[in-house]
Structure 1
């Protein structure tokens, strides 16, 4: 396996709040310069202040991840400002109403799929060519256990997270020999505005620590776990240490992949 240098720069979507904000700040504290993308410039500036307080460069990018032209412009600005995008973290995402498929609003259902699938596609489509031209890079999709099973409710969210597995897997299959590394990372259940609004979590008392998600993303950014490219990892169940042990014992070809069994 060809070695790819540790990431020095990152672009994080949905960086204005929740997990995205935590990841952007965590990556800056790990020594990366960070481009921050979301729709709310005021909230992004708050994240940017934290990144700069860690002594790193921050680039604020306002864009809708479903707008191809806006995404391309944002990526070009990030590359101009930082010199490269070594790590792409596709974090931006939404969830639909927790009702059965036949009871949902069709436009709302499809908008969830567009944000959660078209968004990561457009970001990868814009960022990966530059990575390959520089000899490699890393893409992390914030996925979910929802992508591995069926649900009676919120079907757009479940559909979108399953689709993300195919995007990450496709990037791995096509780009691995050229230095591209792709990962699907489930953050567990972190306490955010989105998770707190969901009925399925209304009685939850245990939440995934955002620091656990940050630790995994930092380990992936540094290249410690490149042997897991194309695979699925989960904060709260996996740690950088446990995944290093998994790599050390030799990963089987069917492990940590979404397959019909």
Structure 2
């Protein structure tokens, strides 16, 4: 995560987007997505909930509405272009806009070396974890730009920053997300678009519970740590960190503001880059 990286092409005159009033959360029917949806509703945002399980989504919508805000239930597969476009249109019709997109839906593949992986499963994971965020951003961002800007958060992982022997579809996908978020930042910053890569830490979910890598884990990152960061992003408090990698359980809104005030976010900090040779 070190190395010299050019500053954003857009870091000069800029248009700051207003604080978000609405959010679309993918994978919102359970796990981190559910926690984010309810937490952001508690923070005052109207929430569009997207997943494949309508029954589960309806239950989450009731929790969201109990916070005194509106909920829109969107049943779609994030890898289906037509389904995603229809879901985004419905969210905009019911809530008036999508000011914040949280790409949370994701899967992990079987924890085996690449040459033992099932090709169909491998590619299916990449489709969910990369094609999904691409399709959502492709459908949501034009509306954001037309309204003066918005924010996109990808739920990423430390696994995307380093080599790994196992679950290679997942690590490939998380690395790809850095490039999607960076592209959104580079191309859209001057028009009011802000993009963030957020690692939630290791949260106890159905997915992490199924992984051998976490079989003996006793310490887990609370989902609230991610909610606090996304809520701060929604309010516009971390806009100077657009294009950066944030880590729930390590970073807090306060510590990130301190980093910005001290200028530690400049010169390619918290961007994915190739390091130079040792000693150079």
TM-score (norm 1): 0.99
Aligned to 1:254: 268
Aligned to 1:38: 51
User: Aligned to 2:255, which of 231, 242, 245?
Assistant: 242
Residue 25 (structure 2) pairs with residue 12 (structure 1): yes
After superposition, what is the alpha-carbon deviation per residue over 1:13-39, rounded to whole angstroms, capped at 9, x for unaligned? 000000000000001000000000000
Aligned to 2:9: none
Aligned to 2:37: 24
- Structure 1: gaps spanning 5 or more residues: none
- Name the count of aligned residue pairs: 261
Map residues 37-76 of structure 1 onto 2, 5 A cutoff.
Answer: 37-76=50-89
Map residues 37-116 of structure 1 onto 2, 5 A cutoff.
Answer: 37-116=50-129
Answer 1 or 2: higher relative contact order, Cα 8 Å, separation at least 6: 2
After superposition, what is the alpha-carbon deviation per residue over 1:219-239, rounded to whole angstroms, capped at 9, x for unaligned? 011100000000000001100
Post-superposition offset of 1:148: 0.3
User: Aligned to 1:164, which of 163, 170, 177?
Assistant: 177
Aligned to 1:233: 246
Aligned to 2:221: 208
After superposition, what is the alpha-carbon deviation per residue over 1:119-154, rounded to whole angstroms, capped at 9, x for unaligned? 000000000000000000000000000100111110
| Structure with larger Rg | 2
- Structure 2: gaps spanning 5 or more residues: 1-13, 276-280
Distance 1:223 1:46 in 2: 29
TM-score (norm 2): 0.93
Post-superposition offset of 1:2: 2.9
User: Aligned to 1:139, which of 152, 161, 167?
Assistant: 152
Distance 1:69 1:99 in 2: 33
Post-superposition offset of 1:4: 1.6
Aligned to 1:3: 16
Give secondary structure in 1 for the equivalent of 2:197.
Answer: strand
Equivalent residues of 2:47, 2:64 under 8 A apart:
yes
Distance 2:184 2:266 in 1: 19
- Extract structure 1 runs of 4+ deviating beyond 2 A: none
RMSD of equivalent CA atoms: 0.6
Distance 2:123 2:16 in 1: 39
Distance 2:53 2:95 in 1: 21
Equivalent residues of 2:15, 2:148 under 8 A apart:
no
Post-superposition offset of 1:253: 1.9
Equivalent residues of 2:244, 2:270 under 8 A apart:
yes
